[in-house]
Structure 1
Amino acid sequence: MADAALSSAEAIMVDAKAMFPDTPTASDALIGYEAPKAQMVSYQQRMLYRSKASEALTLAKDALVSFRRAGESAKKVSALKVVVDASMAMDRSFDAMMAASDELAMIKRTGNKQAEVDVSEMLAEVQIARGDAGSASQSLNEALALYRELGKKDGEAKILRTLAGLKLKTGRTKEALSMAQQGLGLFKELGDSKGEADCQRIINRAYAESGEMEKAPNRNDALKALEDLASAVENRDKSLWKTAIVELNKSSAYTQHDVQQIFGSALKKDRQAAASFLQQMGIRSSGSAPELVLKEVTKVFTYVGFRVGGLGYGPRFRCLNPTHALGVEGDVSSVKAVACLQISDEADDWEKELQYHPGILDGCLQSQSALG
């Protein structure tokens, strides 16, 4: 029964993830992979995705309990993976973190190093997604020590790569550089070209952020791409622009100053034509449009403010996510409230089917609080 439940749960999650393909993991984002372009997702699609995740979660939880009782470590880890993935899909990262950390504590008592390293990686991925760099670093370091103890160089290289990306993200460039170089050596030894490229990208970014761009291994590749980018702007060549941008992102061996110099030079030669081309490519040149200012007001701050003012909204009427005040700098009359509203998880199924949910309607009014 447990095997069947796990198989069903895994199949359901595969089906759910297929709705949003090519979505990078949290650790992928650290390495520098770009997220896919935003796509419009209907309410029905989102609800179907969450429904599938919920179904998988229920099955995986039952399987996890059974495998835990039977002492089947490998299957237990597989079931936990579905529990974590499904929880994350339902935007319940805290539940995912607790599931992984609780299981890790139990596994540590058994002395099963492979299961421990698998769950440590799982936990780190959730912690990275939650923005908890400190805890993620600790989990990754524990996984690194375990991989070294197990003598698994592929796992060691993978953890070093993720740790390097995490260190770089938190501004610790020297540590990032050291770990990326260690990872690069291991990936070369293993013949893993993708791993090599990932570590090279991190090394390039580390040198760029530390002001030592000349030391970046792929600097020459980036300079060639920058030349192509300049040519693309000058000749209004969209195809060459796209190719140059891909190559720049692939190497990461450039600074924002490099790019600004190219744009500045093009604007000096023919401001109107260059500005028009850059705008088509999604780049706004200075002075081509009013400066917009976006001020965020967090969900917690919003509802604490309401509470202080005497309005105690219940869970079903706390539908606002972070709200923003958007307007032209210096023009008070242009300021507007921009908000994303979502029906509470505590709402009953019938509430979610309402065309005009009371919490959403009231949330539209609540959003005006962002205007001050």
Structure 2
Amino acid sequence: EMGSDAGAASVYLTLADAHLASDNAKAALAAASKAMKAATAAGDKQGEANAWVALMRARAGLSKFAEAAKAAEGALVTCLDIGDLDGKAVALYRLAQVHNKSKQYTKAMKSGGMAMEHFRQHGSTMLEQACLAEIVSGLIGMEAKAEALRQARQGQAQLQKAGDKKMAALATTSIIKAYFADSKYKEAVIAAKDALAIFRELGDKEHEGTMLVELASLYAQLGQLDLSKDAAAEALPLFKDAGNTAGEVRALELMGAVEDAKVALQQEKEWQEDKRKLLEAVKTALVNREAADFKEALTAVYKNGYIEAEDLEVTLTPVFERDPAGATEFWEENHPEEFPLPKQFLDAEDFGAETSFKFLKTFDRRQLYLGMRFGGMGYGPAFRLLKTAHRKGPQGYWAHGHSTLTLKDDHADWEEKAGWHAGILDCALQTGSVRAQ
């Protein structure tokens, strides 16, 4: 049992703060509601104001932004009633956070600006720095990147002027955020290193870890994956020693993301080499007029499924330009009658329904031609490759195509947009084959 309603309110508020720190907004909302009930019963206006702020943060955590704004109004009114200007400023700061989460950036800047001015006048540098972060976030949300950087630098200069070296260094996170939003990663790295040196000089291990994970993120954006992993790994024990679980999680996530990126880069490198070999095999067979090798190589390209038509066009165009008639004749005579269906087509689902490709084993060029003529505009020529076409009207399922006539009816100048006469779409009549695009 609680000793008093006021005491109960205090305990519930502490519990709500703990839940908010662990991102458990639902539990925080329950605790904040109990705190409000207890504070009201005790006639504790200060407790009510604090409970309103906790309710606001919890509702925002649940994406109930309209309800969070109402709680903010309650906090502001209560603080004004009791003359608590510090509490009012805190409520405004929290309201700025809510506005940023709900993408109401102009309101976030207004609330954050009023709160920051109060904290600056009263020497509350920690909260001044926190408000600066919300203002910069709001400006970035509004795409005012240059202004965000200007405000971040100005805010840091004010903190330096106030003599708080630690908060001035922490304000670097806002500068980094502004650089990051403008893709100026190298400049952000320089700023992060400067702040890191200050935290090391101050012996502030937790904020040293914070700046190390900022560096890790920036190195990752620059493709410097080993440096990114090293920075995150260096931050991990610092967060553990400080008991900063959220920091530990972020460092571990960055380390995992770096490993994933390394694997992806290696796979991409291998894939590009395979792609080069497949395309080169088609080109070599075409140049040498080796029919069997040509069919085998082209079938392998089609089976791959991830090589774009443009890749084949770029590779083969020089061959066709040197001998248009001979290359075209060889292509038409030796293009495979059937070629394998790419695995991703077999596995694909058409908006939750089984794809029409589900039970197919291979493409047959004559059947594909008939399919195209009856609405399967998902295909382009195997030679004379169509690059783009534009049409008006609603977009249907990806497998529901449109005939040449439909395209012409929908978009009078589509031929100019596509760069080809409409007849090119009747590709099977010209080349004897079509391929999936």
- So what's the TM-score if we normalise by structure 2? 0.42
Query: Which of 1 and 2 has greater Rg?
Result: 2
Which has the higher relative contact order, 1 or 2, with Cα contacts under 8 A spaced 6 or more apart?
1
